[in-house]
């Protein structure tokens, strides 16, 4: 850090060409986060590191050190931190993620990438200036932050509320807002009989959505658009299987007919990773012969006959059972169509004979009449090879979820006690 950087207040923007100071946001109300994000997008003040609500104190301290924040803003005020290091000059947000090792890394997103994502999103949705936006996702995650930014680019501010079916119903009647949801939230709105036609566009992401859920939601009046993306792409960048304007998709596979690794390109990509002191930078992007930057995701996808992208799941989630590779997303898509299954997740669990066994964790439609393992195996074998059929069934009242609303796959790989 230069002497000029050290003398600069945490609230000042960087000098031209200099790195931008990084300020962590801890414990702030979502509305205040929105105001800070607006300033960061306009180049005012520091880049921001939002820390999701509910993060344990020890983890907060770990993130502040790992991401080398210059300061931290809490409801009590701003505190300067030792050991800070500037972010890239164009960085507006740093979103933390953890890989398979659990080591935190920061995804540095520029203001231009965030705006490009939000503008392409609202254009695809057909959103108009002055439309209202409801945020029921955590403001510390990219999904919630993008609701904030979509509202900003359409000239409004997002309305924030904790997710509650009746609360969402009331706000839907009052505002007719666009909203981003995860599948579990959409299921709960349907189960509560909420009139989904009161909502604007429902952007559905965070986890795979089974066809039956989409069909039921649309019959209930919802205008649902499925989204695929990640922090590294400023959130959703493929809507209903089609990339947003400016986004390109490639599959790294042996042939056009085989599943392959999903590669993404376009103006929505991250600037780079921000790593803890001493950690090796894995490198975010690679360039092709034409100089185009591509993000190699860990997702496995295939092309549907109509040219849309279908994401099958993460490559590191593939279950190796008895020498056969099973894609959990393919199996789970079939289980989700079974009339006795309300929710399900397919994972690999350690097995002394098979290496890993394909395990289905199911929430039944009728708790008094759960499906049997034999039923589900026969159901899957109608469409997939026998080795892909679950060898284990665990019935639960509900699935454990992460703060983002995604199923907690780490917890689900261990049988319930």
For 231-330, list the strands marked E by DSSP.
235-239, 242-243, 248-252, 260-265, 272-274, 286-287, 293-303, 309-314, 319-321, 324-326
Q: How far apart are CA 308 and CA 182, in angstroms?
A: 21
Assigned superfamily of 318-412:
ANL, C-terminal domain (3.30.300.30)
Every domain of the chain and the residues it spans: 19-110, 113-270+282-312, 318-412
Q: How far apart are CA 356 and CA 271, in angstroms?
A: 37
Same fold, 113-270+282-312 and 318-412: no
Which percentage of the chain shows pLDDT scores above 90? Answer: 69
DSSP 388: G
Whether residue 5 has pLDDT greater than 80: no
Q: How far apart are CA 262 and CA 232, in angstroms?
A: 13
**What pLDDT is attached to residue 112?**
98
Specify the DSSP element, H or E, that contains 332.
helix 328-335
Highest mean pLDDT out of 168-182, 273-287, 319-333, 380-394: 168-182
Backbone phi, psi, residue 204, to 5°: -115, 120
Region 229-245: mean pLDDT is: 97
Domain 113-270+282-312: CATH architecture, name and number where available:
3-Layer(aba) Sandwich (3.40)
Q: How far apart are CA 412 and CA 361, in angstroms?
A: 8
Region 42-51: mean pLDDT is: 96
Residue 401 burial (C-beta neighbours within 10 Å; 0-12, 13-18, 19+): middle
Whether residue 266 has pLDDT greater than 90: yes
Specify the DSSP element, H or E, that contains 395.
strand 392-395
Lowest average pLDDT, out of 103-117, 120-134, 280-294, goes to 280-294
**What pLDDT is attached to residue 8?**
42
Region 83-88: mean pLDDT is: 94
**What pLDDT is attached to residue 314?**
79
Instruction: Assign 283 a pLDDT band (cuts: 50, 70, 90).
Output: confident
Whether residue 4 has pLDDT greater than 50: no
Q: How far apart are CA 77 and CA 56, in angstroms?
A: 20
Whether residue 400 has pLDDT greater than 60: yes
- Top pLDDT among 332 and 24 is at 24
DSSP 87: B
Specify the DSSP element, H or E, that contains 181.
strand 178-181
Q: Which of 355, 357, 361 is nearest to 408 (CA)?
A: 361
Q: How far apart are CA 327 and CA 259, in angstroms?
A: 10
Q: How far apart are CA 2 and CA 146, in angstroms?
A: 33
Which are the contacts of 204, defined by CB distance < 8 A and separation ≥ 6? 180, 181, 182, 183, 186, 214, 224, 225, 226, 227
Instruction: Assign 6 a pLDDT band (cuts: 50, 70, 90).
Output: very low
Instruction: Assign 206 a pLDDT band (cuts: 50, 70, 90).
Output: confident
Task: Give the largest CA-CA distance in the chain.
Answer: 69
Helix (H, G, I), strand (E, B) or coil at 69: coil
Tens-digit pLDDT profile for residues 26-37: 999 999 999 999
Give how far Cα 51 sits from Cα of 33, 236, 279, Å: 10, 20, 21
Q: Chain centroid to CA 23: how far?
A: 22
Quote the mean pLDDT of the chain. Answer: 90
Whether residue 140 has pLDDT greater than 50: yes
Is the sign of the CA dihedral 276, 277, 279, 282 positive or negative? positive
**What pLDDT is attached to residue 102?**
60
**What pLDDT is attached to residue 127?**
96
Angle 237-176-142 (CA atoms, 0-180°, nearest 5)?
Answer: 30
Q: Chain centroid to CA 165: how far?
A: 21
**What pLDDT is attached to residue 61?**
92
Tens-digit pLDDT profile for residues 47-74: 999 998 888 888 899 999 999 999 999 9
**What pLDDT is attached to residue 19?**
87
- CATH fold for the domain made of 19-110: Rossmann fold (3.40.50)
Determine contact, residues 240/204, Cβ cutoff 8 Å: no
**What pLDDT is attached to residue 313?**
80
Radius of gyration of the chain (CA): 22
Q: How far apart are CA 121 and CA 133, in angstroms?
A: 13
Instruction: Assign 1 a pLDDT band (cuts: 50, 70, 90).
Output: very low
Give how far Cα 390 sits from Cα of 127, 197, 317, 357, Å: 43, 37, 15, 7
- Top pLDDT among 265 and 324 is at 265
């Amino acid at each position: 850090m230069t002497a000029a950087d050290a003398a600069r207040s945490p609230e000042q923007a960087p000098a031209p060409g200099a790195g931008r100071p990084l300020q962590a946001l801890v414990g702030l109300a979502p509305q205040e986060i929105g105001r800070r994000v607006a300033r960061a997008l306009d180049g005012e003040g520091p880049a921001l590191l939002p820390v999701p609500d509910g993060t344990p104190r020890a983890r907060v301290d770990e993130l502040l050190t790992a991401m080398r924040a210059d300061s931290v803003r809490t409801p009590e005020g701003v505190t300067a931190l030792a050991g800070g290091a500037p972010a890239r000059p164009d960085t507006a947000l740093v979103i933390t993620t953890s890989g398979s090792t659990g080591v935190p890394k920061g995804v540095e997103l520029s203001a231009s990438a965030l705006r490009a994502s939000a503008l392409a999103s609202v254009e695809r949705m057909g959103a108009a200036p002055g439309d209202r936006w409801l945020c029921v996702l955590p403001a510390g995650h990219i999904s919630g932050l993008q609701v904030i930014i979509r509202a900003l680019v359409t000239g409004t501010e997002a309305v924030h509320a904790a997710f509650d079916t009746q609360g969402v119903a009331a706000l839907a009647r009052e505002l007719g807002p666009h909203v981003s949801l995860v599948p579990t939230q959409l299921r709960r709105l349907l189960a509560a009989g909420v009139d989904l036609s009161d909502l604007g566009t429902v952007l559905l992401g965070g986890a795979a959505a089974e066809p039956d859920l989409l069909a039921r939601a649309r019959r209930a009046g919802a205008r649902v658009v499925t989204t695929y993306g990640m922090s590294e792409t400023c959130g959703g960048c493929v809507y209903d299987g089609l990339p947003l304007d400016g986004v390109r998709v490639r599959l790294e596979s042996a042939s056009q007919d085989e599943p392959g690794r999903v590669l993404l390109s376009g103006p929505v990509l991250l600037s780079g990773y921000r790593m803890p002191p001493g950690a090796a930078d894995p490198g975010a992007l690679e360039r092709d012969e034409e100089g185009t930057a591509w993000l190699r995701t860990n997702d496995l996808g295939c092309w549907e006959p109509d040219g849309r992208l279908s994401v099958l799941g993460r490559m590191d989630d593939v279950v190796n059972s008895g020498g056969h590779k099973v894609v959990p997303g393919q199996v789970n898509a079939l289980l989700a169509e079974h009339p006795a299954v309300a929710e399900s997740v397919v994972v690999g669990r350690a097995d002394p004979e098979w290496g890993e066994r394909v395990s289905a964790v199911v929430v039944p439609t009728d708790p008094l009449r759960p499906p049997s393992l034999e039923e589900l195996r026969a159901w899957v074998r109608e469409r997939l090879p026998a080795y892909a059929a679950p060898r284990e069934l665990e019935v639960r009242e509900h699935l454990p979820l992460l703060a983002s609303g995604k199923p907690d796959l780490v917890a689900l790989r261990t049988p319930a006690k």
